[in-house]
A and B are shown apart, each in its own frame.
Chain A
Amino acid sequence: GAGVSQSPSNKVTEKGKDVELRCDPISGHTALYWYRQSLGQGLEFLIYFQGNSAPDKSGLPSDRFSAERTGGSVSTLTIQRTQQEDSAVYLCASSFRPDEQYFGPGTRLTVT
């Protein structure tokens, strides 16, 4: 079956612009996670969704970052007023059980 998909695969934006990153999880997976992979910080957790609610947002680095999930499926990560330090690969994962997450290919964000 289809895996986790993310779009766009690459995004180049100017500093100060807003960006939206999309994640389509595997059908039926109720849990969804966002992670960020950057040179300086490695791979770090951002936010966890169970259904449409986000009981753990502890990894969002600032209030410029927000995320939502609708219909228990698609999720959007929004970064407002992007900064150069936001440049990273943003990974989405979904799961039907906590010990088995399936990752998407990621969105590479470059802020110029």
Chain B
Amino acid sequence: GDSVTQMEGPVTLSEEAFLTINCTYTATGYPSLFWYVQYPGEGLQLLLKATKADDKGSNKGFEATYRKETTSFHLEKGSVQVSDSAVYFCALGGTSYGKLTFGQGTILTVHP
């Protein structure tokens, strides 16, 4: 079945550092890929998505590229802020109706 493997962390960075959170997937067919973010005390929010190979999703300075050849969707940001501290989930949408399979989540803490 579908699965998502995500860099577990926790990840601790200083403000303005470069961020990478690795995500790889296993799926049949051509899934859509997502990054969701959960800020402290808040619900899950869609951060970015890509629906086909070589697509790049981007939002709020975060980027991720759908790499079919390496079955990966790594999240990157060039310069993190304290306000980026949150839990980040990589997810795969492997059905036509949007059922999501999530990775385990990565806790990111950014210090001033």
Point out residues on A near B: beta carbons under 8 Å: 4, 31, 33, 35, 42-45, 48, 50, 55-56, 91, 93, 95, 97-106
Contact = CB atoms under 8 A, between A and B. Distances in A.
Interface of B: 32, 34, 36, 42-46, 49, 51, 89, 93, 95-105
A104 B43 contact: yes
B98 A31 contact: yes
Contacts of A98: 32, 93, 95-98
Contacts of A4: 43
Nearest to B91: A43
A98 B20 CA distance: 27
A100 B46 contact: yes
Given A56-B99, A99-B49, A99-B51, A42 B93 contact: no
Contact of A95 (B95, B98, B102, B104): B98
B44 A33 contact: no
Contacts of A31: 97-98
B97 A55 contact: yes
A14 to B, nearest CB: 27
Given A31-B98, A48-B98, 11 more contacts: A35-B102, A42-B102, A42-B103, A42-B105, A43-B89, A56-B99, A93-B44, A98-B97, A99-B49, A101-B100, A102-B46
A56 B100 CA distance: 12
Contacts of B102: 35, 42-44
Contacts of A50: 97
Contacts of B46: 100-102
Question: Nearest 8 A-B pairs (CB), nearest first?
Answer: A98-B98, A43-B102, A103-B44, A105-B43, A103-B43, A42-B104, A99-B32, A45-B99
B43 A33 contact: no
Contacts of A45: 99-101
Among A31, A44, A100: residue with most chain B CB under 10 A: A100
B104 A91 contact: no
